[in-house]
Amino acid sequence: MGGFRVLESFRGRDVISILDFTRRELEELFEVADEAWKLARARPLRGRILALAFFEPSTRTRMSFESAMKRLGGETLLVAGEEAISVAKGENLADTVRMLDAYSDAIVIRHRFEGAALYAAEIAESPVINAGDGRQHHPTQAMLDLYTITKLFGGVDGLTIGVLGDLRYGRAAASFLLGLTLFKPRMVYLISPPQLRPRRELLDELKSRGLRFQEAELADVLEELDILYVTRIQRERFPDPSEYEKVRGSYRVTLDMLERQAKRELKVLHPLPRVDEIDYRVDGSRFQAYFTQARLGVPLRMALLMGVLGGEA
Amino acid sequence: MGGFRVLESFRGRDVISILDFTRRELEELFEVADEAWKLARARPLRGRILALAFFEPSTRTRMSFESAMKRLGGETLLVAGEEAISVAKGENLADTVRMLDAYSDAIVIRHRFEGAALYAAEIAESPVINAGDGRQHHPTQAMLDLYTITKLFGGVDGLTIGVLGDLRYGRAAASFLLGLTLFKPRMVYLISPPQLRPRRELLDELKSRGLRFQEAELADVLEELDILYVTRIQRERFPDPSEYEKVRGSYRVTLDMLERQAKRELKVLHPLPRVDEIDYRVDGSRFQAYFTQARLGVPLRMALLMGVLGGEA
Amino acid sequence: MGGFRVLESFRGRDVISILDFTRRELEELFEVADEAWKLARARPLRGRILALAFFEPSTRTRMSFESAMKRLGGETLLVAGEEAISVAKGENLADTVRMLDAYSDAIVIRHRFEGAALYAAEIAESPVINAGDGRQHHPTQAMLDLYTITKLFGGVDGLTIGVLGDLRYGRAAASFLLGLTLFKPRMVYLISPPQLRPRRELLDELKSRGLRFQEAELADVLEELDILYVTRIQRERFPDPSEYEKVRGSYRVTLDMLERQAKRELKVLHPLPRVDEIDYRVDGSRFQAYFTQARLGVPLRMALLMGVLGGEA
| pLDDT tens-digit map of C265-285 | 999 999 999 988 999 999 999
Question: Looking at chain B, which residue has its C-alpha nearest residue C274?
Answer: B91
Size of interface A-B (CB pairs under 8 A): 57
pLDDT value for C33:
98
Residue of C50, C70, C110, C295 to mutate, testing the B interface (most B Cβ within 10 Å of its Cβ): C70
Chain A, nearest residue to B292 by Cα: A102
- For the sheet with A106-111, list strands across it: A75-80, A49-54, A106-111, A128-133
Q: What is the dihedral of CA C234, C236, C241, C247, to 10 degrees?
A: -30
Minimal Cα–Cα distance from A47 to chain B, Å?
6
Residue A80 and residue A77: Cα distance in Å, rounded? 10
Task: Round to whole Å and give the CA distance between C3 and C6.
Answer: 6
- Indicate the pLDDT class of residue C235, thresholds 50, 70 and 90: confident
- Three-class DSSP category at A136: coil
Task: Summarize pLDDT for B267-309 with one digit per residue, the tens.
Answer: 999 999 998 899 999 999 999 999 999 999 999 999 999 999 9
| pTM listed for this prediction | 0.96
Please give the Cα distance from A307 to B3 (Å, whole number).
34
Q: CA B307, CA B3: separation in Å to the nearest integer?
A: 9
ipTM of the complex: 0.95
Whole-angstrom distance, CA of residue B157 vs CA of residue B227: 12
pLDDT over threshold 50, residue B312? no
Q: Does C288 touch chain B (CB under 8 A)?
A: no
- Which chains would you list as touching A if contact means 3+ CB atom pairs under 8 Å? B, C
Q: How confident is the model at residue B1 (pLDDT cuts 50, 70, 90)?
A: very low
The mean-pLDDT minimum among A218-222, B171-175, B188-192, C1-5 falls in: C1-5
b or e along C160-197 (b: 16 or more beta carbons within 10 Å of the residue's beta carbon)? bbbbbbbbbbbbbbbbbbbbbbbbebebbbbbbbeebb
Q: Could you give the count of Cα atoms lying within 13 Å of B118 in the half-sphere of its Cβ?
A: 11
Q: Which fold has domain A2-137+297-309?
A: Rossmann fold (3.40.50)
Q: Tell me how many degrees the CA angle A195-A149-A232 measures, rounded to the nearest 5.
A: 25
Average the pLDDT over C185-190 and give the result. 98
**CA nearest neighbour of A61 among C85, C54, C77, C70:** C77
Residue C298 has its nearest CB partner, among B75, B81, B102, at: B102
B249-264 tens-digit pLDDT: 889 999 999 999 999 9
**pLDDT surpassing 70 at residue B3:** no
**CATH T-level fold of C139-294:** Rossmann fold (3.40.50)
pLDDT at A5: 66
Can you tell me the mean pLDDT for B131-160?
Answer: 97
Closest residue in chain A to residue B37, using alpha carbons only: A47
Q: Do domains B2-137+296-309 and B139-294 have the same CATH topology?
A: yes
Residue B91: which of C43, C67, C274 has the nearest Cβ?
Answer: C274
CA distance C74 to C87: 25
Pick from B59, B67, B73: CB nearest A104: B67
Residues A250-265 pLDDT 10s: 899 999 999 999 999 9
Task: Give the pLDDT confidence of B20-45 residue by residue, as tens digits.
Answer: 999 999 999 999 999 999 999 999 99
* Residue range C285-294: mean pLDDT, rounded: 98
Q: What is the pLDDT of residues C60-105, one digit of tens each?
A: 999 999 999 999 999 999 999 999 999 998 899 999 999 999 999 9
Residue C4: predicted pLDDT: 59
Q: Taking residues A2-30, what's their average pLDDT?
A: 90
Strands laid side by side in the C160-164 sheet: C213-215, C187-191, C160-164, C227-230, C267-269
What's the pLDDT at B249? 80
CATH class of the region C2-135+297-309:
alpha beta
Mean pLDDT of A87-93: 91
**Interface probe, candidates A37, A67, A282, chain C, greatest C C-beta count within 10 A:** A67
Question: Residue B5: its pLDDT value, please?
Answer: 67
Nearest to A53 by CA among A145, A120, A7: A120
Alpha-carbon gap, residue B109 to C177, rounded angstroms = 37
Task: Please provide the average confidence, as pLDDT, over all residues in chain C.
Answer: 95
Q: What's the first-to-final CA gap in chain C, in angstroms?
A: 12
The pLDDT score that the predictor gives to residue C5 is 67
> Structural domain boundaries of chain A?
2-137+297-309, 139-294
Per-residue pLDDT tens for A119-138? 999 999 999 999 999 999 99
The amino acid occupying position C273 is: P
Predicted pLDDT of residue A4: 58
Among C83, C90, C104, beta carbon nearest to A81: C83
Confidence of residue B244 (pLDDT cuts 50, 70, 90): confident
Whole-angstrom Cα Rg for chain C:
19
pLDDT in tens, B73-123: 999 999 999 999 999 988 999 999 999 999 999 999 999 999 999 999 999
Q: Which chains touch B (3 or more CB pairs under 8 A)?
A: A, C
- The predicted model gives C14-25 an average pLDDT of 98
* Distance (Å, whole) CA B19 – CA B260: 37
Residue C216 is classified by DSSP as: -
DSSP A199: P
Q: Which residue of C has its CA nearest to A40?
A: C47
Mark which residues 67-126 of B lie under 8 Å from C by CB. 75, 77, 79, 81-83, 86-87, 90-92, 95, 98-100, 102-104
Chain A CB contacts of C92 below 8 Å: 280
In terms of CA atoms, which chain B residue is nearest residue C41? Answer: B47
Q: List the single residue in B87, B90, B103 with the smallest CB-CB distance to C64.
A: B103
Give the model's pLDDT for residue A235.
81
Q: What architecture does CATH give domain B2-137+296-309?
A: 3-Layer(aba) Sandwich (3.40)
Residue A312: pLDDT over 70: no
Mean pLDDT over B211-226 rounds to 97
